[in-house]
Amino acid sequence: MRKKLCYLCLLGSLLFLGSCNRETVTNPSLDISEVSSENEIAALKLKYNCIDISEIREKCKNYSEESKERFYVYGVVKEISNPTYGQMVIEDETGEIDVYGVYSEDGVLSFPQMESRPAVGDEVVLHATLQMYNNSPEIKNGRLIEFISHQKEIDINDYVKMTIAEARTKEKDSLVRLEGVVSKITYANGKVPSGFILVDNTSSIYVYDGNVAAQVSEGNKITVVGKKDFWILADEKTNADKFGYKGCNQIAEAKILENDKGTNDFDKTWIQKTTVKDIMDTAFTKDITSLVYKVNALVKKAPGNGFINYYINDLDDFNGLQNASGSYVYTQCNGSDFDWLDEFDGKICTVYLTALNAKSSASGCVWRFLPVKVIDENYQFDTTKTGEHIMKYYVDGLFRKVYTGDPSLEVKTSISSDLLGFENATIAYESDNTSVIRFDNDQTGKVVMHAGVYGDANVTVTVSYGTNAPVTKKIKITVSKVSFGDTITVKEAIDAEPSTTEKLTLRGIAGPSLVNQVGFYLIDETGTIAVKTEETIFSEVELGNEIVIEGYRTKQIKEDKPGYGQACITNVTLVANLYGKNDYPTDSFIKGKDLAYLSNLDVNTNQSSQVYVIEASLDKVETKYYSNVYLKDGDVQLLLYTSSGNQYNWASKFMDGKKYTMEVALCNWNGSGNKGVILSILDPTTNEKVINSLNYTK
């Protein structure tokens, strides 16, 4: 066997939400004649009496099960789809074929165990069995008889030896040589190794190379060379740039020089102890990707349709008072690569984790976690820290620095946590200028903060628990006047010609949430229009706030799709929040129509800016891989616009086959026809609306 000089095989698909696969490296335009000369190829084929791939494909049709006979075949490696099993695609001038499993010549060593093995672009001779698999010809159990490497030879002296901490600071394309312990392997679709976190006594970094990842086990101490990189999925780069996210700090095009094959623990002396909340609050301009932290966190398992999500949450679940700080563990294997977390489900553990990457969309970025190690140490919360804990996780961020209207903000005076084991910690609020900021008891006994005249007030918050010393904090709040020019009505915005150059200023009530889009409906007495915005606006705006926004009146539809599309306001800027807990006006809503009427509305005209009050039932249809929700009235049904039926979990109590009074709009975001959106459902037991608040954070 000719020895391979080097391999720099970049393989596909790393862990970067669902649609964030890295492409498997292939060479679709490979000219077979450029690999070796025609005479050399002919001599190699003659040496082993190789059969052309086109003939091999024909022979496969004779074997519904693996053949007992072996055949010699020559080919050029076009793709290595799974280095763990030596799964690849080879080709010659007559065609290509899948290879399931490549082993050493004697069949003893698997592909990753071989000291020298082919990469993309190399020539191979395999002695293999044949079969038809899922009606496709396939080579199985290929014994590697000979291969000719065409990989670029590297000079080890080009790679500078340094610590991982030093490597993290290097520019893109810098050549580095590192030593460290493999702490956690990542997997792509099919549980194919895609990379690993490498740790030394200074820091950590991600090594992205599937071929290299298939050669190591967690605990191996290795020496590796590679090229410094910052990786962002191509489809997300524009959005990442918008929010200052630089990408995953990683090493690519890697090659292992040494591997002790040991079971070493990784060095933890340098690892910073922090909280999940602090990680989640880290600016996306800061380079924290692939950097390991130590936190106390709640591990949660959430099964879905055909997948399992795992979450790493902070310890701020105050009996459902607010959403816990945290994020999901990113997987390309529908969660199966993290089933090792099952034993920690529902427990507060010591978690070593990294924000491996940030999903970047038009609405913002979100850190996504990779747990590196989890230890159940029977965590017990120190209740003497209750005051500090409530101050950090509830009081901090409760108030805005500046209000431009009366927020009528309900504030809690008592907090309990079953998770942490404390009950009825009390919170008191005192303002030194009650004409600016005051705290009143409403008719139900709740404490509500109101803003009054313009000016400043210092609010003192005191948290008390048992015999612990009270914890206090003074917060300055300003009530300020906001200026804005003339505004138009929602109806005027609806009637305006779509434009990406003329900004409009609208005033209305922040109404029910959009579904499967980031945003909400803006409603006034004249009409309703969808506002498509960034997630960050929901930290500034709550359901029922009176707001002034600027944006463009556009319509959204995919190219080459029929119909008008979706009328909406985009590129939104919040000019002013006038606050209030306002009921949105329903003056423009149309009554007296039924589901059949909505289903037959013309898709070629704007149907997305009208709300109807109808009677219908709700039906959720679930399969192993997806779920949908329908409005139904007799034989008529209308599909609701969702990415998953779970987006209507807020309405699950109404999915009982009964008819309810609903506020419904039509939408057509992608040109696939009119679909439904439920704004609210009237609960007959309370005679109150249950409003769709899906996107709202408060």
User: Is pLDDT at 584 greater than 90 in this prediction?
Assistant: yes
pLDDT tens digits along 66-97 = 999 999 999 999 988 888 788 999 999 999 99
CATH architecture of 590-691: Beta Barrel (2.40)
pLDDT tens-digit map of 468-495: 999 999 999 999 998 888 999 999 999 9
Give Cβ neighbours of residue 109 (< 8 Å, ≥ 6 apart).
103
Q: In the chain, what are the domain boundaries?
A: 32-148, 154-379, 384-467, 490-579, 590-691
Per-residue pLDDT for 205 more than 80?
A: yes
DSSP 625: S
pLDDT in tens, 91-133: 999 999 999 999 999 999 998 888 788 988 899 999 999 999 9
599, pLDDT greater than 70: yes
Q: Which of 19-23, 209-213, 620-624 has the lowest mean pLDDT?
A: 19-23
Strands, E assignment, 153-265: 160-161, 175-188, 192-199, 204-208, 221-231, 248-259
| Residues 495 and 529: beta-carbon distance below 8 Å | no
What does the pLDDT look like over 606-661, one tens digit per residue?
999 999 999 999 999 988 778 899 999 999 999 999 998 989 999 999 999 999 99
Q: What is the CATH number of domain 490-579?
A: 2.40.50.200
pLDDT level of residue 5 (50, 70, 90 thresholds):
very low
Q: What is the mean pLDDT of the segment spanning 332-341?
A: 93
Is the predicted pLDDT of residue 552 greater than 70, yes or no? yes
Q: What is the pLDDT, as a whole number, of residue 158?
A: 95
The CATH classification number of 32-148 equals 2.40.50.200
pLDDT class for 8, splitting at 50, 70, 90?
very low
The reported pLDDT for the residue numbered 141 is 93
Q: What is the DSSP track for 271-296?
A: PEE--HHHHHTS-TTS--TT-EEEEE
Q: What share of the chain is helix, strand, coil (3-state, %, to 5)?
A: 15, 45, 45
pLDDT grade for 302, boundaries at 50, 70 and 90: very high
- Domains 154-379 and 590-691 are alike in CATH topology: yes
Rounded mean pLDDT of the chain? 91
Compare 482 and 50 and report the one with higher pLDDT: 50
For the domain bounded by 154-379, which CATH number is listed? 2.40.50.200
Q: What is the pLDDT of residue 288?
A: 97
**DSSP helix/strand/coil, 142:** strand
Report the candidate in 208, 190, 212 with the shortest Cα–Cα distance to residue 6: 212
Straight-line distance from the first to the last Cα atom of the chain, in angstroms, rounded to the nearest whole number: 66
Cβ-based neighbours of 553, under 8 Å, separated by 6 or more: 493, 494, 496, 497, 498, 499, 502, 504, 567, 568, 569
pTM of the model: 0.79
| Alpha-carbon gap, residue 503 to 572, rounded angstroms | 9
